[in-house]
Structure 1
Amino acid sequence: MPNDLPPELRPDLPPDLRPDLRPDRHGSYPPLSPAAQALAARCESRVNELARHMARETFEQLPGYADLPADVKDVEIAATVRSGLRLFLRRVRDTRGRAGDFSLFRERAAQRADEGMPLHTLLRSHSTGVYVLWQALRAEAAEGEEGALIELVDFLLRGHEAIIGAVAETYLDEQAALSAERREHHRSLVRGLLDGSLPPSRAFDELGLEGPSLVVHVHLSKEEAPATPAVAGRRRVRRIQTVLDRTLGAGAVSLLGADGGHVIAPQPADDPDGVRVCAELATRIRQLCGDGVRLAAVTAAAAQDVPAAARTATEIVRVARACGRPPGPHRMDDVLLEYHLSRRDESSDRIAALLDPVGDRPELIETLRVHLEHRHDRRSTANHLGLHPNTVDNRLARITGLTGLDIASARGNALALAALLLRGDVPG
């Protein structure tokens, strides 16, 4: 009958006469009726019994719960359940209707996140506990106490909403912190592997790598990786990392910055040289970061070969940039001669010094680089630089006059190319 219900649930009362049971701005609820408080009080003697029942029987139906250590169930989880039951009963008695302290729930949520319990299992345990408490209240209610029972259930569900929010928030915060720690640990391992400060075998073991690997160098030009705020830079790295994970799989590890970095992945059986991988990565990263993406992949047969492979991949990209090759994936075969000419020996300093007379003239250096890349085609060079062909001729003549290099001859061409490579005069 409607008159048996508490006022807030009676349909025969107009809304303005029903009590408002919502919390105020301090999180406090209106006090419950004496009948509801009396019904809840009769369950206080069953707190320990209910806690044991939940920890040892009810929760066993939850995925993964049966695998937890016995002491976790009997000590931590049982204590949390007891605390939750007593918190509910304490809030029922509290005439000021305060929400209560959720610190233990937050502490346990952080522990479960650290232990790897799935969030859905943790939340289901709280919801299951609420259902068991509802069963206990229902069993305790006598005839004529239906209104008090409904009032308690309404109060129970409102409190459960707050607890679930606190638990989920703490779990996700802890999980994010743990994920950040793992990422930074992986970064430090990759950094140590690449710079030689860690034994390669140890770094490989901790990174979960084994066997032949593919070491990829990713480079973004300055135009595609400008000096952006820290947040934008981190967002760029996360998006590139997502592409790497999807293309190379979860086994890949990386050390990335806003301008690129290195990736180490298990060597694909169907793509041992990484040609397909680099082409796919170039396409996907270009969609995120623009056209100035360059990549090179080198195979490392074992852990100790990774640092050298990373240096080689970086050099391939540097040489390709120095030669003015368009962005995209690069292979050693693409820059074989140029790579050889860029190796340093006793003659390197003298060859590099051949361009010192124009070293302070970046427009001349750039014209020389583009002209060599475009196989001495003055019109193609002019189009690429946005100049008149006559301007290109004048600049080349100026270079010859200042350096003495006849770049139209085979010897002068080879010396000019080697000097560019050895100087590292590359575009951003």
Structure 2
Amino acid sequence: MTETVAKWDDTVGRGRTNLRPVAGIHVRLEEFRAAVRAAGEHWTGGAPGELVDALARAAGDDPELVELVRSGGALLADFLDGLRQQAAPRDLAADLIAGRPVPPEVFDRLAARYLVVVVRSPDADGRPALHEAVLTTRHDGDLVLLVPAEDADRVTGRLTQSLGGQGLLATATRPREDIADGFREATDVLRLVTAGRRPSGAYALSDVLVEYAVTSHKEVTDSLVAVIEPLRAHALLWDALTALIDADFSRNRAAKNLFIHRSTLDYRLQRIAHITGCDPTSGRGMQVLTAAYVADAVR
């Protein structure tokens, strides 16, 4: 029986190689189909490449059929890869915070505005039960929640309470079209409150305006780092400054936390003023040193 079979034409047209029927090639199609059925009877399953190898063996010594099987196998592999992508469960929250496209029929069902919450806690999984409308994912070890704006106050309060004084929340509010931008803002807030050694609680951009401003300009950041960097060579002085920041500038509490006398702490603070040119016992000096401390931590 004479048939026409498709083969690869080596003629390049308009910049591509064309697959077209070539007349006059006699192949044993019935024998090939029988060989394929026989292969199927013994097939135990496997990767697409293994199936292609089995069909190529069924094609025997016919080079056109072998080429057709190989080409078809590549198409099959591409199709199955696309099918797997469709079948794989999507992490909607991860797509939204990364700015990846979301199917319109899914996007249109989202709330109009969201509170983006980034949670850093030793026990982030120990959060209270949340409404099903809250989308969650993880990013670099932090828990990320997308809370419909109408539930923002209630959910934030419950999350803050669940921290038990052992973690931080950073938040930003955005329309659903700008969730990725809100996530960037919340991560910036978390980075700054961590660097500033803020106590456990919920924070927004309004809580770190000074730190955000000074670390948004490289020249300012570099200048602040230059102020504080000499203290790195003096461990006791660095610890004294850290304790003062942790104690919210209370020298009595800082001395107690360091297990030293208040006069010893005052002496160390005088040395800090001499080395940096900023007096940590004055309001302006402490403000500059705190900003420098944050700049050094986030650079």
User: Could you tell me the TM-score, scaled by structure 1's length?
Assistant: 0.43
Distance 1:190 1:413, change over 3 A: same
Distance 1:362 1:316, change over 3 A: farther
Equivalent residue number for residue 115 of structure 2 = 214
Matched, 1:256 2:130: no
Distance 1:382 1:361, change over 3 A: same
Q: Deviations over 1:186-214 (max 9, x none)?
A: 1xx43343234x13x54993695241111
Deviation for aligned residue 1:219: 0.9
Asked if structure 1 preserves the Cα contact closer than 8 Å seen for 2:136 and 2:144, the reply is yes
Once residues 206 and 386 of structure 1 are traced to their aligned partners in structure 2, the CA distance between those partners, rounded to angstroms, is 56
Q: How does 1:3-402 map to 2 (within 5 A)?
A: 182=89, 185-186=90-91, 189-196=92-99, 198-199=100-101, 201-202=102-103, 205=106, 209-220=110-121, 224=122, 237=125, 239-240=126-127, 243=128, 246-247=129-130, 249-256=131-138, 259-268=141-150, 274-286=152-164, 291-303=165-177, 305-359=178-232, 361=234, 364-372=237-245, 374-402=247-275
Q: Deviations over 1:259-304 (max 9, x none)?
A: 5331112211xx5xx3442221121243xxxx3111122111232x
- Equivalent residue pairs, number: 212
Q: Deviations over 1:144-167 (max 9, x none)?
A: xxxxxxxxxxxxxxxxxxxxxxxx
Once residues 292 and 259 of structure 1 are traced to their aligned partners in structure 2, the CA distance between those partners, rounded to angstroms, is 16
Gaps of 5+ in 2: 1-87
Q: Deviations over 1:156-183 (max 9, x none)?
A: xxxxxxxxxxxxxxxxxxxxxxxxx63x
Deviation for aligned residue 1:336: 3.5
Matched letter for residue 261 of structure 1: L
Equivalent residue number for residue 412 of structure 1 = 285
- Please state which structure has a larger fraction of its residues in helix: 1
Distance 1:334 1:195, change over 3 A: same
Once residues 256 and 362 of structure 1 are traced to their aligned partners in structure 2, the CA distance between those partners, rounded to angstroms, is 36
Q: Deviations over 1:350-383 (max 9, x none)?
A: 2222111123556543432442454532102123
Out of 345-354 and 404-413, give the one that drifted further: 404-413
Matched letter for residue 195 of structure 1: A
Gaps of 5+ in 1: 1-180, 226-235
Distance 1:337 1:257, change over 3 A: closer
Deviation for aligned residue 1:320: 2.6
Distance 1:401 1:425, change over 3 A: farther
Matched letter for residue 192 of structure 2: V
The RMSD of aligned alpha carbons is: 3.2
User: Could you tell me the TM-score, scaled by structure 2's length?
Assistant: 0.59
Deviation for aligned residue 1:252: 1.7
Once residues 285 and 358 of structure 1 are traced to their aligned partners in structure 2, the CA distance between those partners, rounded to angstroms, is 33
Asked if structure 1 preserves the Cα contact closer than 8 Å seen for 2:272 and 2:280, the reply is no
Deviation for aligned residue 1:318: 2.9
Matched letter for residue 162 of structure 2: R
SS at match of 1:359: helix
